Structures are given as structure tokens and as C-alpha cells.
């Protein structure tokens, strides 16, 4: 059996058979995610088709140089594809298990934030909650939207306020959290020097000259490395 790496490489070079093999070998992953959307008023087969689109996107965009497992990259893309479909098509209802996972995740995030002095990574949250990375992504996204966004929650003085307006800030916070968690995961795939460069540049807000001095390299080298690293991270985060 060919490795994931060889199949991905062949698929990116235009080998349709390799692409089809990757799809077939990961259909079980799609079904495992689809099961978490049962009871939403949609046929499982329909959600499976939507999830498969996310799987194909993951195959086409997967970057081997990041050193991540394919499933780690594919799960949020498959989940995101289904979530977009549900959001575009109508109200998303959150199951009891997702609500419970969301509460468990909230408590773990608060506790870890206090003990670590920073936001927890996906891996740390998974260890603390005994949830899989897939379950964590599902819980965060599902609990971010539990009612129709166009529902009017206040009306008076000739105007009205929709739930969408009320939740704008909350939804932005959820997006920021997911983005932060993904960035932390991507940083873990970088070398120690690459992590140090990105953290100094974007977390400590150092200039390229300051980084060059601290790392003992030229500013030109810092600039080139920064562009190279950001390109790899950007390719991984695109959906």
C-alpha cells in the first residue's frame, strides 16, 4: 500500500488514480464527522456528499512540508464544509453532546489559561478534556451559533435588533480562538528556529533588524525566512 505522502505527491502532479485512492481511503473519516451532525433534519448521505467535497479540498491543498498528519488537516476542512452548508441552508441545532463538550472545553480552556499564562493549544485541550481534536473543533463551532441569526430579539422605537447583530462580537471571538489554535498547531510543525522567528516577529512584535541581531543572521535572511514560513502556514490554513 502506498504511503499518504507518495499518494499526495502523485495527486498534486495530476495523477487522478492517486487522488481517487486518497478519497476512498479516507471516506471513513468523512462518515465519522457526518455522524456528529445526525438529527439536524438532513439525510446522512447528503451531508456525506458535502463532507466529501471538504475531503477533496484537503487532498488538493495538503502541504507535506508542514509535517502534519493528513487527518489533522482534513478534519477541520471537512467539518467546515458541512458547517458552511448548514449555515447557508438554515438554522443549525446543537446536540446535547456538543453542548456538554462545549462546556467541558470552556472549563478546560479557562483553567489552562490561568495555569499556563496563555491560551491552550489544541493538543493541551485534548489532553485535559479527553476529547479528540475533531470533537474540539466541532464543539467550538457548533456552540458559536445555536439560533437563527435573523431572529429578532428586540424591537422598539421604530427599530429592531437581530440575533446576528448581537452575536457579531461573540462570533468574532470564536473565529479568533479557532485561528489562534490553528496557528499554535502550525507552529508546532516548524523547527525551533522557525518558531522562534515567528514568535518574535508576531507575538513579541520585534522588527526584522532586532530578530536578525538576536538570531545572528542578516535582515535579508530574516525577510526571506519569514516569507517562506508564512507562505507554508497560509497554504495550510486556507479552506
For residue range 182-200, what is the model confidence (pLDDT) as tens digits? 666 677 777 888 888 888 8
- Which of the residue ranges 51-55, 83-87, 163-167, 169-173 would you say has the lowest mean pLDDT? 163-167
Q: Tell me which of 97 and 180 has the higher pLDDT.
A: 97
Q: Within this chain, do residues 110 and 171 fall inside the same structural domain, yes or no?
A: yes
Q: Looking at residue 166, what is its pLDDT? A: 41
Q: Based on the structure, what is the number of domains in the chain?
A: 3
User: Taking 60 as the threshold, does the pLDDT of residue 131 lie above it?
Assistant: yes
For residue 204, count CB atoms less than 10 angstroms from its CB and return exposed for 0-12, middle for 13-18, buried for 19 or more: exposed
**Helix (H/G/I), strand (E/B), else coil: 94:** coil
Q: Within this chain, do residues 175 and 229 fall inside the same structural domain, yes or no?
A: no
Which of the 8 DSSP states describes residue 203?
I
Angle at which helix 27-34 crosses helix 70-89, to 10 degrees, equals: 40
**Helix (H/G/I), strand (E/B), else coil: 41:** coil
Percent of the chain with pLDDT over 70: 72
Host domain of residue 129: 92-189
User: Taking 50 as the threshold, does the pLDDT of residue 128 lie above it?
Assistant: yes
Q: Within this chain, do residues 44 and 122 fall inside the same structural domain, yes or no?
A: no
Closest CA to 49 of 28, 30, 35, 32: 30
Q: Looking at residue 92, what is its pLDDT? A: 44
Last residue of a domain, one of 90, 110, 134: 90
Name the E strands within 112-230. 152-156, 159-162
CB atoms within 10 A of CB 160: 11
For position 235, which CATH number holds?
Answer: 1.10.10
Q: Looking at residue 121, what is its pLDDT? A: 79
Length of the chain: 239
For position 149, which CATH number holds?
Answer: 1.10.10.10
Which residues, at least 6 apart from 225, have a Cβ–Cβ distance to it below 8 Å? Answer: 194, 197
Sign of CA dihedral 6, 123, 35, 74: negative
Using only C-alpha atoms, the chain has a radius of gyration, in whole angstroms, of: 20
Q: Looking at residue 238, what is its pLDDT? A: 53
Q: How confident is the model at residue 30 (pLDDT cuts 50, 70, 90)?
A: very high
Distance CA 83, CA 68 (A): 23
Amino acid at each position: 500500500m502506498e504511503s499518504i505522502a507518495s499518494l499526495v505527491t502523485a495527486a498534486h502532479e495530476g495523477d487522478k488514480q492517486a487522488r481517487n485512492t486518497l478519497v476512498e481511503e479516507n471516506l471513513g473519516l468523512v462518515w465519522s464527522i457526518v455522524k456528529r451532525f445526525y438529527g439536524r433534519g438532513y439525510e446522512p448521505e447528503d451531508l456525506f456528499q458535502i463532507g466529501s467535497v471538504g475531503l477533496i479540498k484537503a487532498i488538493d491543498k495538503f502541504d507535506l512540508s508542514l509535517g502534519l498528519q493528513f487527518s489533522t488537516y482534513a478534519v477541520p476542512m471537512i467539518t467546515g464544509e458541512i458547517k458552511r452548508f448548514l449555515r447557508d441552508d438554515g438554522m443549525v441545532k446543537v446536540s446535547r453532546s456538543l453542548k456538554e463538550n462545549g462546556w467541558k472545553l470552556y472549563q478546560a480552556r479557562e483553567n489552562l489559561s490561568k495555569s499556563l499564562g496563555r491560551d491552550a493549544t489544541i493538543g493541551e485541550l485534548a489532553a485535559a478534556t479527553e476529547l479528540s481534536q475533531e470533537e474540539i473543533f466541532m464543539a467550538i463551532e457548533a456552540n458559536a451559533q445555536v439560533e437563527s441569526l435573523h431572529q429578532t430579539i428586540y424591537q422598539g422605537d421604530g427599530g429592531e435588533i437581530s440575533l446576528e447583530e448581537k452575536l457579531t462580537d461573540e462570533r468574532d471571538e470564536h473565529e479568533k480562538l479557532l485561528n489562534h489554535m490553528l496557528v499554535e498547531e502550525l507552529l508546532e510543525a516548524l523547527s525551533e528556529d522557525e518558531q522562534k522567528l515567528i514568535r518574535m516577529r508576531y507575538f513579541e512584535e520585534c522588527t526584522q533588524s532586532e530578530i536578525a541581531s538576536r538570531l545572528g543572521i542578516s535582515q535579508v535572511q530574516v525577510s526571506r525566512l519569514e516569507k517562506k514560513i508564512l507562505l507554508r502556514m497560509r497554504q495550510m490554513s486556507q479552506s
